Amino acid sequence: TTYDDCWLRYDRVEETLRAAYRERLSHAYVSEGAPELGAVRAELRRGLEGMLGREPHLWQHPPRSVDSFLVIGHPEEMRPISETIDPEEAWDLADGGFLLRTVEWEGQECTVLTASSDRGLVYGTFHLLRLVATGEPIDDLDVCEEPANANRIVNHWDNPFRRSVERGYAGQSIFDWERLPDLRERYFDYARLLASVGIDGIVPNNVNTGIPPRSTANDAVAERAGWQLLKRENLEKLEALASVFRRYGIRTYLSINYAAPIRLGGLDTADPHDPEVQQWWQDKVDEIYEIVPDFGGFLVKADSEGQPGPYDYDRSHAEGANVLGEAFEGHDGRVWWRAFVYSEHDDRAVQAYEAFAHLDGEFHEKVTVQIKNGPIDFQQREPVSTLFGAMPETDLGCELQITGEYTGQGVHPTSHVPMWKEVLGFDTHADGEGTPVKDVLTERDGQGIAGVGIVGEDPNWTGNYLLQSNLYGFGRLCWNPDLSTEEITDEWVRQTFGHDEAVVDAVSEILLDSWQACIDYHTGGIGLMHMMYNGEKTLENHYDPAPWEWPEYHGATADGIGVDRTTDGSGYAAQYREPLTDFYDDPETCPEELLLFFHHLPWEYELEDGTTVIQRLYDDLYAGAAAVDELRERWLALEGQVDERRHRHVAERFDEHALQAKRWRDTLCEYFYEKSEIPDEHGRVPAG
Ligand code: BDP
């Protein structure tokens, strides 16, 4: 292919291991039936041929002349399965779960893969192939896996027809609506990548379905914006796309525009209380299911950044969402309603909670409220959104950003995995101590995790080869939030770069250290954020430093820095459950990494180790830029050990990364010096 295989390279496994795998996997008896099973057979052929040097022999009955074989099918379906595994075990698993077990059957050794859903068999197949790719033994398997999160969705911010990707840094959109229903090879490969890590849904179009805010798009372009995917001719295109993803157990969704009853339906209102509007949505949803029978549902950005919504009719977000939720009654799909809504409050951190928390219990059962991980906007590090602890009666979903809008975009190889671990592990205290976000998200079937997509048309999919690890890690964590960052990173590196220990160590260390470095040079490590350049109109860059642009987010003045978000300040801290409020309210107990998010402190306020705030900021900014130099050195040292194409590509990005980290360091140091008039103890600021 002309583009990269990412972690599905299926490189030949070391000769010493090959025989053992061949013994077990050269013969496979695979159920025929659902389209997913075609995907299973195709993947087995491709994976095993690559890794073991020959395609497996596929049987339609148990092979008799061999000592050992692989068998894949539903419980009770085939004798080597029904006679060795209690079907209840498989039926009891969550949708997508599977069992992978070594058993003896009529004198033969069988590797059995069984699941109650076709999707589960797809996941189990990828799991087995991953074991081979990572060099794990498979002679005595006893694996029982099921997804922790019921929904694991990628939200593409792709603008259909124009093929641009909002916050995409890897080229244009892979989805070619002009040509659909014609299919591209790339759809199949993308579906394989997603299914291999357990993703079960995609929203192929941007949440900005109207003319994107601040865009200079003319009317002709606006006519082609995402809202019009609800037209019948486009739904037929959607079904073509869905037919590919369905083979891999992935359901297709749509971002919709709240004013669609007006724009498409010719009504003069989109008021959710209007019976004609209700009927219009009902008819539209029914029509979609006629065309796309496994349609996943709607994603909605309403009353946010220029998009229409229920506020236009003085209705609440619950009233707004429920008209859509009702339209999904009787269908196997639902509405993902984003909580990314601003309000009147001066402090942006306070706003989403203000708009949503009081609506707990009012949402229709077919509605999920999708909350960004933090209260601001996908910053390098944020406290966890207060909403996760505030809406026990509502199906909540968590929105993460796979693409690196604020973490170095397609250039800096910042791993988001440790950040996501921190978010999912955060104790909300919603139901007393020990109610982490990951548990809040897994109470009911209408919940889950959404990630803002990262892929584009670039040959490497993600802008920088190393950033493929974020798509991989996103899926793995949605499947199992208890996997450690180290485990996920190790799996990804081995499948992507092979098993040379020097390479595995170096690449893993680069990724494991990348997030802290990113925080340090972008913000210093004590809770500042949102100091990036926004740019003029359509040129929203979010990449370069510009701390003077949004002073309200860092609060630097002559006397100190940080924003008072305590109970007596903006009140954000008071939105948490106790004891979190007290904990954040007091600068003595507030964790240092979030200190300036919650507190405005004098420049010479002493931190625990005796350093002053201003000195710590200088030190962190310098440490961050130095860390990037070191990451770059580690990568450069791999020359000759990683193929030249990938090595050179990543090295070039590191050159730019190292410059950009210093640009951030110097811009921020200078700015903080101007405000504080306190020089660096080590003579670095002000510069020479
Ligand atoms: C911001 C992005 C903007 C998105 C918005 C959103 O800069 O492009 O449209 O979030 O999430 O982070 O809707």
Digit-coded pLDDT (tens) for 308-321: 999 999 999 999 99
CATH class of 161-167+211-449: alpha beta
Annotated active-site residue 433? The verdict is: no
Please write the tens of the pLDDT for every residue from 395-453: 999 999 999 999 999 999 999 999 999 999 999 999 999 999 999 999 999 999 999 99
**CA 6/CA 496 separation, integer angstroms:** 6
Spacing, Cα 451 to ligand 1 middle (Å): 13
* pLDDT attached to residue 215: 60
pLDDT at 6: 98
Report the mean per-residue pLDDT for the chain: 96
ipTM attached to this prediction:
0.98
Q: Tell me: pLDDT of 217 over 70.
A: no
Axis crossing angle, helix 118-133 with helix 35-52, rounded to the nearest 10: 10
Amino acid, res. 410: G
**How remote is the CA of residue 540 from the centroid of ligand 1, in Å?**
11
Mean pLDDT of 128-155: 98
d(Cα 137, Cα 140) in Å, to the nearest integer? 8
CATH no. of 15-145: 3.30.379.10
> What CA–CA distance (Å, rounded) separates 191 from 245?
6
What integer is the mean pLDDT of 70-87?
A: 95
Confidence (pLDDT) at 210: 84
Establish whether 405 is a catalytic residue.
yes
Residue 217: burial class (beta carbons within 10 Å; 0-12, 13-18, 19+): middle
Give residues with Cβ within 8 angstroms of 65, minimum separation 6: none
| Ligand 1 atom closest to Cα of residue 167 | 8
- Measured in whole angstroms, the distance separating CA 626 from the mean position of its chain's CA atoms is 29
Q: What is the DSSP string of 505-542?
A: HHHHHHHHHHHHHHHHHHH-SSS----B---STT----
Q: From CA 338, how far away is CA 205, in angstroms rounded?
A: 15
pLDDT given at position 155: 98
Task: Indicate the Cα dihedral angle 70, 73, 77, 80, nearest 10°.
Answer: 20
Confidence of residue 226 (pLDDT cuts 50, 70, 90): confident
d(CA 506, CA 512): 10
Q: How far apart are CA 228 and CA 225, in angstroms?
A: 6
354 pLDDT higher than 90:
yes
By C-alpha distance, which of 272, 274, 265 is closest to 228? 265
166 CA: nearest ligand 1 atom: 8
**Which two structure tokens, joined as six digits, stand for 657?**
């990364």
Per DSSP, the three-state class of 654 is: helix
Helix/strand/coil (H, E, C) string of 234-297?
Answer: HHHHHHHHHHHHHCCCCEEEEEECCCHHHHCCCCCCCCCCCHHHHHHHHHHHHHHHHHCCCCCE
CA atoms within 13 A on the CB side of 207: 25
Q: Give the tokens for residue 160.
A: 């259909």
Q: What is the pLDDT of residue 35?
A: 82
Closest ligand 1 atom to 157 CA: 9
Phi, psi of 193 (to 5 degrees): -60, -45
Whether 214 has a pLDDT exceeding 80, the answer reads: no
Q: Which of 294, 360, 377, 630 is catalytic?
A: 377
Peptide bond into 686 cis (omega under 30): yes
Q: At what angle do helices 118-133 and 485-497 cross, to 10 degrees?
A: 70
State yes or no: pLDDT of 488 exceeds 70. Answer: yes
Contact between 294 and 243 (Cβ < 8 Å): no
Ligand 1 pocket check for 90: Cβ under 6 Å = no
**Cα–Cα distance, 634 to 658 (Å, whole number):** 13
Query: Which of 532, 546, 523, 304 has the alpha carbon at shortest distance from 406?
Result: 532
Which phi and psi angles does 158 have, rounded to 5°?
-95, 135
Is there an atom of ligand 1 within 6 Å of 301 CB? yes
CATH number of 519-563+600-676: 3.90.1330.10
**Separation between Cα atoms, residue 239 and residue 325, nearest integer Å:** 22
**Two tokens at 254?**
């749509």
CA nearest ligand 1 atom 1, residue: 377
What is the pLDDT averaged over residues 517-524? 98
According to the model, what pLDDT value does residue 540 have?
72
The answer to whether residue 302 scores a pLDDT higher than 70 is yes
pLDDT at 615: 98
Give the residue carrying structure tokens 């922790």. 148
Q: Which two tokens stand for residue 307?
A: 């998009």
Query: How far apart are alpha carbons 241 and 188 in whole angstroms?
Result: 10
Q: How many CB atoms lie within 10 A of CB 492?
A: 27
What is the pLDDT averaged over residues 71-78? 93
Cα–Cα distance for residue pair 572/575, rounded to 1 Å: 6
Query: Which residues does 323 contact at the CB level (< 8 Å), separation at least 6?
Result: 272, 273, 277, 278, 281
**For residue 218, what are the contacts with CB-CB under 8 A and spacing of at least 6?**
none
CB of residue 406 inside a 6 A radius of ligand 1: no
Q: Whose CA is nearest to atom 11 of ligand 1?
A: 340
Separation of 166 CA from ligand 1 center, angstroms?
8
Ligand 1 pocket test, pick from 165, 208, 342, 351 with the greatest ligand atom count within 8 Å of Cβ, gives 208
Instruction: Determine which residue's CA is closest to atom 2 belonging to ligand 1.
Output: 167
- Give residue 1's pLDDT band: very low, low, confident or very high (50, 70, 90): low
Residue 523 has pLDDT above 90, yes or no: yes
Q: What is the pLDDT of residue 351?
A: 96
Of 538, 519, 539, residue with least CA distance to 530: 519
- Distance (Å, whole) CA 307 – CA 213: 8
Pocket test for ligand 1, best of 305, 378, 452 (most atoms within 8 A of CB): 305
Domain boundaries, the chain: 15-145, 161-167+211-449, 519-563+600-676
Q: Is 427 designated active site?
A: no
Confidence at 33, pLDDT banded by 50, 70, 90? confident
Please give the number of the atom of ligand 1 that sits closest to the Cα of 213: 9
Contact call for residues 109 and 70 (beta carbons, < 8 A): no
Q: 403: Cβ below 6 Å to ligand 1? A: no
The pLDDT assigned to 76 comes to 87
User: How far, in Å, CA of 68 to CA of 53, rounded?
Assistant: 18
Determine the distance separating the centroid of ligand 1 and the alpha carbon of 342, expressed in angstroms: 12
Q: Are 477 and 488 in contact (CB under 8 A)?
A: yes
The percent of residues in the chain predicted with pLDDT above 90, rounded, is 94
Q: Does residue 180 surpass a pLDDT of 60?
A: yes
The residue to mutate among 340, 380, 454, having the most atoms of ligand 1 within 8 angstroms of its beta carbon, is: 340
Task: Say if ligand 1 is within 6 A of residue 377 CB.
Answer: yes
Helix (H) or strand (E) segment spanning residue 372: strand 367-372
Give the per-residue pLDDT at 268: 96
222 falls in which pLDDT band (50, 70, 90)?
Answer: low
Q: Is the CB of 246 under 6 A from ligand 1?
A: no
Nearest residue to 576 via CA among 590, 588, 563, 596: 590
378 lines ligand 1 (CB under 6 A): yes
Is the CB of 664 within 6 Å of ligand 1? no
Q: Is the CB of 618 under 6 A from ligand 1?
A: no
Neighbours of 587 (CB within 10 A): 17
Same fold: 15-145 with 161-167+211-449:
no
Tell whether pTM > 0.95: yes
Q: Whose CA is nearest to atom 9 of ligand 1?
A: 208
Of 424, 350, 433, 363, which is closest to residue 392 (Cα–Cα)? 363
